Amino acid sequence: MGPGPRGGLVSSSERGQRTLNIAPAMIWKTDPDGAFSHFSRRWCLFTGRSEEKERGSGWLDGVHSADLAHWRHLYASALRARSEFRIDVRMRSAARSFRWVRHHGIPCFAEGGGFSGYVGSSFDITDLKLSHTQALTERDQLSAANRELENFVHTACHDLHEPLRTLRSQLAALADDAQEAPGLLVAAGENVRRMQTLLKDLLECARVATRGEPLEPTDLTTPLDWALANLSQLISETGAEVTRDPLPVVNADAIQIAQVFQNLIGNALKFRGDGAVLVHVGAHPRNGGWRVWVRDNGLGVAPEHYQKIFEPFERAAAAGPAGRGLGLTICKKIIQRHAGRIWVESEPGKGSTFFFWLPSSGSGH
């Protein structure tokens, strides 16, 4: 016994209850049969329920149904063994939302050695769980990015070897046969140009995520106009007719979206059929965002190539001029940076429609 606040005596049980109520953790106790008998004030503030309602097994009403079986199994095993235990379960808070709570129970024994119940502490670890989950997600994303980079570099090196071998052979032939020099010089220059283009595209591909501008509300008419200005000479040479529908405002990096339009329309002009070249750009609201498309009447793409044409060094058509192999890969990376997706619908000889979906300005995916 000790002095009370007004000079009276305070029992050890009262002192223990005061300790429970001022502890930073949620504290609880059980009787020798394992029934929960005491809860601290902090526990009751967390659950929004009175201690009377929590006693016994009443507190289990607040445990998430998906975690109840795990709790019952672990607690029953610990109680039989009179052993210490730890467990994380989701519990309904006073705000009616479920929070992750870590329970730690320590067995207590009387002087004679008999089991007298558990004393335990509980902490809200929701933020810790979320941070751990985010860390795992980021780790998985980094691993996937590293695998992609490894495959990308391997393929790029393989693709660079071909023009280098050809160039070496052409230079050797140039040294041996002066009569063939003009043609060999032209071919060698073309191989150098191919390597320069490939290296430029590799750099652009690598910079999509690191050199982009912040996403902000953008009228897609602007990046489309930029793309058409850059393609004006090719449009004039092919006599192509490029039409458009009204385009929406989305959260975007205008420069990168201009690059997407330029690559898609440029492919339509390069992989064209024998007739007049027709390209149409349109958009329609869908799933909280906008589905934008570039439709052409060119050579088309076979269904078995729908996915792999977006991978490095794959061509968009089975015939026609050689593709650089990275244009659609760059488009895919840009659209993914914008929390969107890109795909194609096509039929050989009947043209292609390349679609990409972007969230609306101010909306999420």
pLDDT digits (tens, 9 = 90+) for 235-275: 999 999 999 999 999 999 999 999 999 999 999 998 888 88
pLDDT at residue number 112 = 86
Question: How many other CB atoms are there within 10 angstroms of residue 105's CB atom?
Answer: 24
Rounded to whole angstroms, how far apart are CA atoms 163 and 1? 93
Q: How many CB atoms lie within 10 A of CB 150?
A: 10
In this model, does residue 355 exceed pLDDT 90?
yes
Give per-residue pLDDT as tens, 20-39. 555 568 999 999 999 999 99
Looking up tokens 């991978």 gives: 311
Backbone angles phi, psi at 156, to 5 degrees: -60, -45
Domains of the chain: 2-124 (3.30.450.20), 135-207 (1.10.287.130), 214-365 (3.30.565.10)
With 0.75 as the threshold, say if the pTM is over it. Answer: no
Using the Cα atoms of residue 157, residue 159, residue 163 and residue 165 in order, give the sign of their dihedral: positive
